[in-house]
């Protein structure tokens, strides 16, 4: 027997930067509330509010969080750091291997 009132979770969707910018612009115009815009485009209010906060950060008027370009740079640096750590680990193993071979 299925429980009543349980909804299936919505699959995760991704949106283009252009779409997000259009939604932010609609909200900033002031014609409709964030809730109305979210409902009209079948989005969650939370997502729309996050897009608004990020747009404010990118414009330099936000709450001090990371801008989009800073987030992108941070992600790139983390990937590079992970790769470099792997390279160092490989070199350590190779050094240990060749040190054994020369004895």
Q: What is the pLDDT of residues 34-78, one digit of tens each?
A: 999 999 999 999 999 999 999 999 988 877 889 999 999 999 999
DSSP 43-99: --HHHHHHHHHHHHHHHT-SSS---HHHHHHHHHHHHHHHHHHHHHHHHHHHHHHHH
Residue 1 pLDDT more than 80? no
Backbone CA torsion sign across 59, 64, 69, 71: negative
Give residue-wise pLDDT tens across range 20-37.
999 999 999 988 999 999
CA 21/CA 11 separation, integer angstroms: 22
What is the architecture of the domain spanning 14-65? Orthogonal Bundle (1.10)
Provide the token pair at 11.
């699959």
**DSSP conformational letter for 14:** -
């Amino acid at each position: 027997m299925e429980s009543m009132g349980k909804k299936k979770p919505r699959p995760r969707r991704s949106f283009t930067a252009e779409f997000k910018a259009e939604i932010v612009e609609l909200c900033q115009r002031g014609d409709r509330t964030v809730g109305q815009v979210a409902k009209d485009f079948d989005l969650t209010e939370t997502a729309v509010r996050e897009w608004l906060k990020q747009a404010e950060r990118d414009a330099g008027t936000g709450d001090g969080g990371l801008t989009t370009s800073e987030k992108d740079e941070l992600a790139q640096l983390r990937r590079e750091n992970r790769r470099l750590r792997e390279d160092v680990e490989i070199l350590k193993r190779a050094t240990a291997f060749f040190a054994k071979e020369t004895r």
